[in-house]
Structure 1
Amino acid sequence: MSTDDKRIREFAYQIWESEGQPDGQEARHWEMARKLAEAEALAPKKPPKAAGSKAAGKTAVDSKGAAAKPKAAAKAKPATAAKVIPPGEKAVEKKPRAPRKPSPI
């Protein structure tokens, strides 16, 4: 099985799960997954960002003049799975929330 087939299988499974695991939709899920994998393959690759590029040449110094310990990197939040919208359906946009009115005291 090629890498492309594995990626299509992963996409199809994600689509199937996101739709509540319906029966009889395999061909539609596979076609959607194939299109997603094709678009992903054609997308330009972004080079990885260098870690700490802004402060690369600087060393932090504490108030006593000693080199400070580097801070632990904040843990990234896990990426949420983007909802797959079947062809022909529109994405539902949420309306912005109105600001709260101050309560009378």
Structure 2
Amino acid sequence: MSTDDKRIREFAYQIWESEGKPEGHEARHWEMARKLAEAEALAPKKAPKAAGSKTAGKGTDSKAPAAKPKAPAAAKAKPAGAAKVVPPGEKSRREKSPAPPRKPPAN
């Protein structure tokens, strides 16, 4: 299984969980997951920060070793924003309908 297939599977599972684990919506979840994975692959990567930019004003030696790079994104278990996916036209469980207008107090 390719990395892309694994990512699509992760997205589909997260969508399924976020919708309350409904039955019979597999095709829709897979299609949404495939689109999310494609968008993620096409998104521009963040540019690396210039080495030494954090220490420039601190008076440290310019030959100091650079900071260790962070772990790759693939090492993360789940992306933070993925659980918030709500299909168009569907309300999330946390959304509430607007409150009815209040009546003015009787005098």
Q: Give yes or no for TM over 0.5.
A: yes
Amino acid at match of 1:15: I
Amino acid at match of 2:87: P
Structure 1 position 58, deviation (Å): 1.7
Query: Structure 1: where are the runs of 5+ without partners?
Result: 61-77, 93-105
Aligned residues: 76
% same residue: 85
Measured in 2, the distance between the counterparts of 1:82 and 1:52 equals: 36
Normalized per residue, the structure richer in helix is 2
Structure 1 position 79, deviation (Å): 3.8
Measured in 2, the distance between the counterparts of 1:49 and 1:21 equals: 40
Are 2:88 and 1:84 equivalent residues in the alignment? no
Measured in 2, the distance between the counterparts of 1:90 and 1:19 equals: 10
Q: Tell me the SS of whatever aligns to 2:44.
A: coil
Amino acid at match of 1:83: K
Measured in 2, the distance between the counterparts of 1:58 and 1:21 equals: 52
Moved more, 18-27 or 47-56: 47-56
- Which residue number in structure 1 is paired with residue 37 of structure 2? 37
Query: What's the RMSD between the two structures over aligned residues?
Result: 3.0
Measured in 2, the distance between the counterparts of 1:28 and 1:50 equals: 42
Q: 1:14 to 1:52 in 2, by over 3 A?
A: farther
Higher relative contact order at CA 8 Å, sep ≥6: structure 1 or structure 2? Answer: 2
Q: 1:19 to 1:52 in 2, by over 3 A?
A: farther
Measured in 2, the distance between the counterparts of 1:22 and 1:84 equals: 15
Amino acid at match of 2:23: D
Moved more, 41-50 or 17-26: 41-50
Kindly report structure 1 stretches of 4+ aligned residues shifted beyond 6 Å.
none
Return the TM-score normalized by structure 1: 0.57
- Which residue number in structure 1 is paired with residue 2 of structure 2? 2
Return the TM-score normalized by structure 2: 0.56
